[in-house]
Amino acid sequence: YMEKHAVSKLIGAPPGYVGFDEGGQLTEAVRRKPYCVVLFDEVEKAHVDVFNLLLQVLDDGRVTDSQGRTVSFKNVIIIMTSNLGSAEMYRFAARQHQVGRGG
C-alpha cells in the first residue's frame, strides 16, 4: 500500500474504472464480517493517502466505499505494526545486556 492508488484497493475503484463492481479489499471484508481484526503490517511504509484513510477510520469509525456505502468499523479491532524505532530498541537491549554483565 505504498502507492497512491492503494486507496482504491482498500475502498474500491471509482465509478467507470475496472473493478468498480468488486468493491474494496478492506471495505468488503469489514462489510461482510463486521466483527473482525484488521492488521496493517509495517504501516510506516503506507502512502500518505492510505494514512489519511486510516485516520478517517480511526476518527469517524466509518468510511464510505467507492459505491457510496458507509462501512462501520465500530466492532473492528485495528492493529498497526511498525519497524520505526527498532534500531533504538536494539541498542537499548544491547546496553541492558552489557549492564547485566557488569559492563
What pTM was computed for the model?
A: 0.77
CA dist 43 and 53 (Å) reads 12
CA dist 103 and 97 (Å) reads 8
pLDDT recorded at residue 103: 53
Locate the domains of the chain by residue range: 6-100
CATH code for the part of the protein at 6-100: 3.40.50.300
Main-chain dihedrals φ then ψ at residue 63, nearest 5 degrees: -150, 150
pLDDT tens-place string over residues 16-63: 888 778 889 999 999 999 999 999 999 999 999 999 999 999 999 999
CA dist 95 and 52 (Å) reads 37
